[in-house]
Amino acid sequence: QDSLRLFNIAKSKPRNAFLLAAGWALGQGILTAGCLLTHHATIADLTLAWTGSGAVAGLVGLWLLRLRAAPGRCLDWFRSERRYIGAYLTETLALSGSTQLSLMLVAAVSGLVASAGLRGASTLFGPLNIVLNVARQAGIHELARLRQAGRSIRGATWLLAAIAALVAVAYGGAI
């Protein structure tokens, strides 16, 4: 679902990207509410609600793009796109890994209560992170388009960074 959302952004189809994200959120909300209302809110049930709604959204995403999954061609795809794998893998591991490592270090040094507080604060900033991630993904697409057109991206990069900083400050002030 996430990859299809990014693909829609790259193909300048923000409506489809929104439909995927909204569909996943709606499905997750309905299934989670169902788990809570029926008193079946175990870790397994909630995980199934989360992954199941993501899988359904992914299938809808394939349908919106008129694509068919071809798992047998994964290795071919990895070979043809290998020049990008290192950069994206490094970024993903750095972002995800640093978050998990910081939570574990806080838990080890200050205890689980402090780590839970940090996790709670990070959840509070979840909506901001979503906005900034979408802006980053859309920005990368637009910057690549500008560069392919032979235009300088320095000014646009600074503008995107300034807007992201202003949004973050405004959100922090609001909460």
Contact criterion met (CB below 8 Å) for 119 and 102: no
Half-sphere exposure of 21 (CA within 13 A, CB side): 18
Contact criterion met (CB below 8 Å) for 24 and 53: yes
Q: 3-state class of 65 per DSSP?
A: coil
The mean per-residue pLDDT over the stretch 109-137 comes to: 86
**Could you report the per-residue pLDDT of 101-117, keeping only the tens digit for each?**
989 999 999 999 999 99
- pTM score, whole prediction: 0.54
39 CB contacts (<8 Å, ≥6 apart)? none
